[in-house]
Each structure stands twice: as structure tokens, then as C-alpha cells.
Amino acid sequence: MLIDMNNRLSQTGLSLTQELADITGAHIVKAFNTIGAEHYLNPQFGNQTASMLIAGDNTAKQIASELATAIEFEVVDAGGLDAAVLLENLARLWVHLARSTHGREIAFKLLVRSGGNLE
């Protein structure tokens, strides 16, 4: 099982996660790439918990979800391997915001209205 935390921003339309899955045949998930690493051990931002978006193989997502939950992130399943490129693009936005206007003390949070489903 592999957790791809990298943010190689693809020009091919494929994420590094997809390429690694093709090369290795391993269960793989994109996770821990849409927030600064310094926040892994404290995903609290005021009274809000940062979302940890994950995408990939179901087996790998289960393991990554357990890990992210154990360190107190709110896990959001973003889909299969094809959604990994979307998380790389979200990371690109995080980097842009961190470098330009907001600094590194930022995180993404998915908000769901009552009756919605995070899973």
C-alpha cells in the first residue's frame, strides 16, 4: 500500500498517483497533500477541524482514512484514482494562497448542509 503525498503538477492530465499505480500495481491513495506538513499533528484551526481529502484505491483509502482520523482530521473521500489529479490541483491552490496572501496557517474544510453526506 502506498500513500502518495507528492504534488508533482502534471502536464499530462495524469496524477503521479495514477502513474505509480500503473507502474507498481500497488494499492495507492493520494492523501496528505492539500495542507502544510506542519499541520499534520494539529489539524485544528480555531474551532474547525481541517478536511483531509483522499482519492484512490478503496483498500488504500481505508488505511489512509484510519491514519488521518487517528491524527484528528475530518476525512473526505474524493473518489477513485482519477480524482487524484484534482487533489494535486487543490494543492496548487493551497500553495498559491500560502505564498501570496494568506501564509501557511490555512487549511481546506468541506462543509456539508444537514442531510448531506461526507462519505
Q: Provide the grid cell at 22.
A: 500503473
Burial grade of 4 (CB within 10 A; 0-12, 13-18, 19 or more): buried
Distance between CA 15 and CA 115 in Å, rounded? 32
Residue 19 lies in a domain: yes
Angle, helices 84-97 vs 16-24, to 10°: value is 140
Residue 111 lies in a domain: no
Residue 114 lies in a domain: no
Residue 46 lies in a domain: yes
pLDDT band at 73 (very low <50, low <70, confident <90, very high): very high
Mean pLDDT, to the nearest integer, of 62-77? 98
Between the alpha carbon of residue 4 and those of residues 29, 82, 85, 88, 113, the distances in Å are 6, 14, 11, 10, 30
**pLDDT at position 10, please?**
59
Residue 109 lies in a domain: no
Residue 115 lies in a domain: no
Mean pLDDT, to the nearest integer, of 82-89? 93
Mean pLDDT, to the nearest integer, of 53-63? 97
**pLDDT at position 103, please?**
97
Q: What domain count does the chain have? A: 1
Provide the domain limits for residue 66. Answer: 2-102
Mean pLDDT, to the nearest integer, of 31-41? 96
Tell whether the model's pLDDT for residue 119 goes beyond 60.
no
Of 57, 27, 52, nearest to 39 (Cα)?
52
Residue 113 lies in a domain: no
Residue 57: phi and psi, rounded to 5, are -65, 140
Residue 108 lies in a domain: no
Mean pLDDT, to the nearest integer, of 16-43? 95
CATH number of the domain where residue 19 is located? 3.40.50.720
